[in-house]
Amino acid sequence: MKQLLLITILAFVSPTVFAQDMDNEKLEKILYVVSDTLEGQKGNWQFTINSLPMLCVTDEKHNRMRIVTPIQKMKDVAYKELKACMEANFHTALDVKYAISDDLLWVVFIHPLKELQKDQVIDAISQVFNAALTYGESYNSTELVFPKSKKKKTY
């Protein structure tokens, strides 16, 4: 009975009640608090955390944002590292991904802007930082890891 009541209440509660309605002003305040340095303008910030450079770019009109950090030039990325990045995108990178743009390997977090909550922004920055830090080793963004499938031996 309690479950039915809860489902009924949730069915009539507007999803906007839970929305943060994140925008550039709120995001800038979060970045200012969590970063060591913050430069730029609304919608295009450069910041550092423990000397790691990061960028945050938003587009309020199209409701998009991304937090990124460069890892290294693609000419310096070995095939086994690139393969490890792609596997990490499936198992250990979680909400961030390793990606290539402008001949650089990046760690990226991409999300709709308005739907973000403060804790998600902080978590995203942490995951970008950790994925950059663990590049070349465990390639993980958090301690949570989705297990790899066990290969079946074929005879």
Q: Mean pLDDT throughout 68-72?
A: 98
Domain ranges across the chain: 18-133
Residue 149 pLDDT class (50, 70, 90 cuts):
low
Average pLDDT over the chain reads 87
CATH ID of 18-133, from 3.30.1540.10, 3.30.1460.10, 1.20.120.1630, 3.30.70.2860: 3.30.1460.10
Cα–Cα separations (whole angstroms), residue 9 to 3, 13, 20, 40, 94: 10, 6, 20, 44, 32
Here the tokens at position 31 are 């970045």
Higher-pLDDT residue of 3, 101? 101
Cα–Cα separations (whole angstroms), residue 55 to 16, 28, 47, 140: 28, 12, 6, 20
**pLDDT at residue number 142:** 85
**pLDDT at residue number 2:** 44
Does the pLDDT of residue 1 top 70, yes or no? no
| Contact predicate 150/136, CB 8 Å | no
pTM, full prediction: 0.82
* pLDDT tens per residue, range 110-130: 999 999 999 999 999 999 999
**pLDDT at residue number 78:** 97
**pLDDT at residue number 46:** 98
* pLDDT tens per residue, range 5-61: 334 333 444 444 445 699 999 999 999 999 999 999 999 999 999 999 999 999 999
* pLDDT tens per residue, range 126-144: 999 999 999 999 999 987 6
Alpha helices in 1-155 (DSSP H): 2-12, 24-34, 79-91, 118-133
